[in-house]
């Protein structure tokens, strides 16, 4: 009898957890797409997208006069996309030219732009993404 | 020196490989010579890896830029401190560092247990040596830290200024010490399964070996949060990033393990469960490493995509199949000695605590791998954001908080209704009164009320435990209150150290709850003007530009007042490091126990007006305070007691059989 009670208790707890999961998952999801897939699938304006795999086109970042809320262009080497940042947070320091960015927001198919309220940025030099040759090249560019 | 380092790695591969075979064969054939030889191989592996690490350090300190790792992760202008920490600044070096820590843990186990746990030790050594063997393969064939360039560049690339922060120098080693250390309880679990010695011996051996990495890991996580808070400029300390999650997950399971150990020791229950937890903790550490470094999940933290992914994936799958397969084979030997007798018992509380922690683990795991799962089923990666993690973990966390206070109030086996009433009346009343007061003061957030109420409940419950113990001691001895309290805690370190970490959890929850009341402001100020921000007045006094040796900076001077009283000057900066084309945000914080006034200089315009972002973070310092109490409690709990030393003597004296050397000193 006692055994059944414990089993019952466990089932109740497990069911509660499961409900919590399902209810919460539905509220905070975004579909992860690469730039290429975004352009092929062109999801509706209201769908929340996490856009990965793009880098910031050098020189494309246009800050407002206070160095906030930039507009910039990202590219995957093939496609480009204009992005407007509307989020509240200060952008991470790693956000700069050539940075690999992950954006969250909505895609507007009509004018091929993206409104992002979250920007994650990974600086390519932070970890070992670049070959050493690239670094030497960059040093030479900087010197000339 | 580089060649010596590389050569040492090759020898370490051989030594650890030999260690596996010698220990395994020695254990099967019960040949002491072979077993000892296997142990010596582990010591030799440690010595060899130490040589390799010293070689890499030497290359870093003496700027040997022909070594690719040195060229990529250091340069001539870096201060000595960061040259030393560059050992773990990049992928290959950090893996070598990881392997080295592993060998240090392994060597310590071997050195400490030459006379103890003899039936388990050969298998423990084999498991540890096998793990070292795997890491040596990674060092040599996938992530060679000694890879040389075909030319010697004049200078290296150096360390990104964002990472040039003292906390960032010690945060990774702490995490490594935590993640790597979990191999020891895993090795004891595997040894228990292989040897068939499935009583509580392996638990007794691995409790402290779990507590040590558990403390490192917990403290490392909290320090990482502190770094993110002061350095990254987004006003928060935890983002549910996959990499953060991957170090939180083993910590959660290890916490469950540390609790359920006690049930097995006392009641002979949960044998399978404990073995599974020890295995799972370790597998999650490997899984975390795999995720962080293979690039399968996009994360801001993640190391670059590299070819070590398949190595770790293979190792992960092999060790999972091996250990859980072994556990399955041994199931017939793992029948529980007892059953739960009553709902109202310490056992049930522990069991619930395990459920809650595993529930949390599952939530975090689910959220972390959800993109992969959804991709497998729908072809689209669906990511879940921080709201998911918060929504799921806040209610689970509150139940956990309840248990930290309620658990100790239950007696083992069963608690009578009378003592339940006696134990719970005061803490529950205190919690309710506190909630009432907060409600009267205008607090309406349900979770915050619950959390603060529970914090009060737990504090009073634990406080009463300390108090009653002390009073009882004063009655039987002639000690005064502080002395009796100290002796009480020193006598049962495990218990009262544990309570101290429970109190740390209360402090952490107070801090976490404060997050619900964070205020955020963004505004432009003209120089010489001021403005009301929350309860504060902020005046923009001046803006300065300066050049330092390796960066230029724009700094704003802001006067901070509250109710007419001058509190201090805040100096948020924006720096620019031309060598890295990297801007950094230097936040400025006015910190009190009540709240932090956190200001960021977003940017300044040509007319010397500037835009600021302010976060007012109530109670956040309780998080850092909780971190300190957490470490103190854990240290208190793990400190060796006279009883431990006595047990060790008994173990050594009673370790009879073939695996014990003839000439052993007689202590007992």
ipTM of the complex: 0.80
Q: Which residue of B has its CA nearest to A41?
A: B380
Query: Which is it for strands A29-34 and A49-56: parallel, antiparallel or unpaired?
Result: parallel
Which strand (E) or helix (H) includes residue B622? helix B621-638
Note whether A92 contacts B232, CB cutoff 8 Å.
yes
Task: Note the pLDDT of residue B305.
Answer: 56
Disruptive mutation site among B383, B520, B600 for chain A (greatest number of A CBs within 10 Å): B383
**Which residue is listed with tokens 């440690």?**
B46
Note whether A93 contacts B302, CB cutoff 8 Å.
no
B403 contacts chain A (CB < 8 A): no
pLDDT band for position A141 (cuts 50, 70, 90)? very low
B232 contacts chain A (CB < 8 A): yes
The answer as to CATH 1.20.120 being correct for domain B1-164 is yes
Chain A (77-116) residues lying within 8 Å, Cβ to Cβ, of chain B: 88-90, 92-94, 96-97, 102, 104
Task: Note the pLDDT of residue A94.
Answer: 80
Nearest Cα of chain A lies from the Cα of B363 at a distance, in angstroms, of 7
Do A24 and B367 form a contact (C-beta atoms < 8 A)? no
pLDDT band for position A128 (cuts 50, 70, 90)? very low
Greater model confidence, A40 or B469: B469
Which strand (E) or helix (H) includes residue B447? helix B446-476
What Rg do the C-alpha atoms of chain A give, in angstroms?
22
Q: For B383, which of A50, A68, A122 is closest by C-beta distance?
A: A50
User: Would you give the end-to-end CA distance of chain A in angstroms?
Assistant: 83
Do B477 and B469 form a contact (C-beta atoms < 8 A)? no
Q: Which residue of B has its CA nearest to A69?
A: B602
Q: Is B557 helix (H, G, I), strand (E, B) or coil?
A: strand
Successive 10-residue mean pLDDT values, chain B, 668 residues = 93 97 94 94 97 96 93 88 88 92 97 91 96 95 91 84 78 92 97 93 92 95 89 83 89 96 89 95 91 65 65 93 95 84 83 91 89 82 85 92 92 84 92 96 93 97 94 91 94 93 96 93 93 95 88 94 94 87 88 95 90 95 96 93 80 58 45
Do B77 and B548 form a contact (C-beta atoms < 8 A)? no
Nearest-angstrom CA–CA distance, B43 and B48: 9
Count CB neighbours of B580 within 10 A.
21
Nearest-angstrom CA–CA distance, B560 and B570: 7
Task: Tell me the fold of A30-143.
Answer: OB fold (Dihydrolipoamide Acetyltransferase, E2P) (2.40.50)
Nearest-angstrom CA–CA distance, B224 and B600: 20
Q: Which residue of B has its CA nearest to A19?
A: B392
What residues contact residue B484 under an 8 Å CB cut-off, 6+ apart? B470, B471, B473, B474, B477
Q: Is A84 helix (H, G, I), strand (E, B) or coil?
A: strand
- Break chain B into its structural domains and give their ranges: 1-164, 518-621
The answer as to CATH 2.102.10 being correct for domain B518-621 is no
Task: Note the pLDDT of residue B231.
Answer: 82
Domain B1-164 and domain B518-621 have a common topology:
no
Nearest-angstrom CA–CA distance, B419 and B404: 18
Nearest-angstrom CA–CA distance, B420 and A94: 55
Q: For A88, which of B157, B396, B520 is closest by C-beta distance?
A: B520
Residue A53 has pLDDT above 80, yes or no: no
Nearest-angstrom CA–CA distance, B187 and B278: 9
Task: Note the pLDDT of residue B296.
Answer: 66
The tokens for B240 are: 């549910």
Which residues pair with residue B565 across a beta bridge? B562
Task: Note the pLDDT of residue B470.
Answer: 95
Nearest-angstrom CA–CA distance, B140 and B146: 9
B163 contacts chain A (CB < 8 A): yes
The tokens for B297 are: 């999940």
Question: DSSP E strands: which ranges in B247-394?
Answer: 381-384
Note whether B339 contacts A3, CB cutoff 8 Å.
yes
């Amino acid at each position: 009898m006692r055994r059944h009670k414990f089993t019952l208790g466990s089932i109740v707890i497990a069911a509660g957890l499961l409900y919590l999961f399902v209810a919460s998952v539905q509220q905070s999801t975004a579909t992860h797409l690469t730039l290429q897939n975004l352009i092929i699938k062109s999801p509706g304006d209201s769908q929340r997208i996490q856009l990965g795999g793009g880098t910031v086109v050098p020189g494309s970042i246009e800050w407002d006069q206070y160095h906030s809320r930039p507009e910039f262009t990202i590219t995957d080497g093939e496609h480009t996309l204009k992005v407007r940042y509307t989020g509240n947070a200060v952008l991470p320091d790693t956000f700069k030219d050539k940075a690999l960015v992950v954006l969250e927001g909505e895609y507007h198919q009509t004018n091929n732009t993206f409104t992002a309220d979250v920007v994650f940025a990974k600086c390519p030099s932070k970890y070992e993404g670049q070959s050493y040759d690239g670094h030497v090249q960059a040093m030479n560019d900087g010197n000339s | 020196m580089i060649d010596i380092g590389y050569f040492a790695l090759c020898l370490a591969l051989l030594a650890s490989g030999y260690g596996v075979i010698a220990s395994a064969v020695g254990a099967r054939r019960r040949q002491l010579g072979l077993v000892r030889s296997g142990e010596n191989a582990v010591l030799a592996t440690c010595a060899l890896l130490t040589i390799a690490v010293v070689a890499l350090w030497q290359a870093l300190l003496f700027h040997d830029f022909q070594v690719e790792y040195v060229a990529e992760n250091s340069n001539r202008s870096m201060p000595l401190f960061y040259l030393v920490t560059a050992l773990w600044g990049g992928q290959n070096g950090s893996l070598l560092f990881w392997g080295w820590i592993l060998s240090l843990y392994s060597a310590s186990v071997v050195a400490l247990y030459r006379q103890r746990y003899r039936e388990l030790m050969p298998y423990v050594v084999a498991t540890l040596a096998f793990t070292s063997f795997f890491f040596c393969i990674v060092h040599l064939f996938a992530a060679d830290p000694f890879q040389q360039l075909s030319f010697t560049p004049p200078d290296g690339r150096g360390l990104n200024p964002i990472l040039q922060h003292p906390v960032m120098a010690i945060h990774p080693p702490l995490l490594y010490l935590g993640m790597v250390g979990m191999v020891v309880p895993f090795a004891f679990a595997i040894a228990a399964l292989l040897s068939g010695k499935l009583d509580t011996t392996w638990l007794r051996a691995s409790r402290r070996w779990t507590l040590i990495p558990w403390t490192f890991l917990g403290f490392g996580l909290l320090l990482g949060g502190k770094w993110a808070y002061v350095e990254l400029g987004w006003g928060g300390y935890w983002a549910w990033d996959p990499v953060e999650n991957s170090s939180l997950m083993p910590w959660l399971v290890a916490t469950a393990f540390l609790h359920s150990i006690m049930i097995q020791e006392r009641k002979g229950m949960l044998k399978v469960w404990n073995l599974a937890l020890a295995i799972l903790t370790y597998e999650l550490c490997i899984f975390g490493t795999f995720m962080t470094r293979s690039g399968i999940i996009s994360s801001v933290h993640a190391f670059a995509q590299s070819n070590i992914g398949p190595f770790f994936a293979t190792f992960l799958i092999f060790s999972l199949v091996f250990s859980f397969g072994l556990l399955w084979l041994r199931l017939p030997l793992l029948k529980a000695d007892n059953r739960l007798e009553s709902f109202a018992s310490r056992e049930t509380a522990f069991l619930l605590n395990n459920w809650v922690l595993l529930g949390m683990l599952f939530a975090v795991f689910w959220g972390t791998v959800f993109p992969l799962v959804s991709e497998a089923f729908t072809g689209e990666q669906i990511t879940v954001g921080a709201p998911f993690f918060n929504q799921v973990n806040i209610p689970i966390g509150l139940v956990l908080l309840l248990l930290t206070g309620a658990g100790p109030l239950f007696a083992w086996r069963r608690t009578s209704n009378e003592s339940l009433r006696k134990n719970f009346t005061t803490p529950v009343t205190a919690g309710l009164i506190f909630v009432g007061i907060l409600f009267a003061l205008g607090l309406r957030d349900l979770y915050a009320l619950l959390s603060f109420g529970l914090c009060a409940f737990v504090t009073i419950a634990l406080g009463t435990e300390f108090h009653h113990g002390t009073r009882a001691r004063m009655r039987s001895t002639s000690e005064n209150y502080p002395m009796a309290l100290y002796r009480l805690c020193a006598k049962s370190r495990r218990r009262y150290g544990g309570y101290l970490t429970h109190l740390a959890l209360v402090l952490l929850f107070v801090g976490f709850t404060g997050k619900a009341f964070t205020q955020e402001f963004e505004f432009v100020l003209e120089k010489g003007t001021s403005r009301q921000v929350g309860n504060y007045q902020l005046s923009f006094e001046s803006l300065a530009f300066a050049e330092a040796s390796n960066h230029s900076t724009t700094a704003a001077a802001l006067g901070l007042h509250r109710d007419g009283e001058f509190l201090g000057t805040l100096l948020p900066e924006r720096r620019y490091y031309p060598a890295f084309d990297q801007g950094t945000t230097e936040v400025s914080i006015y910190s009190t126990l009540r709240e932090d006034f956190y200001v960021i200089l977003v940017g300044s315009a040509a007319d010397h007006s500037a835009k600021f972002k302010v976060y007012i973070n109530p109670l956040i310092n309780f998080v850092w305070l909780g971190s300190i109490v957490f470490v103190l409690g854990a240290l208190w709990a793990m400190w060796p007691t006279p009883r431990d030393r006595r047990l060790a003597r008994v173990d050594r004296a009673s370790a009879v059989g073939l695996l014990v050397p003839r000439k052993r000193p007689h202590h007992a």
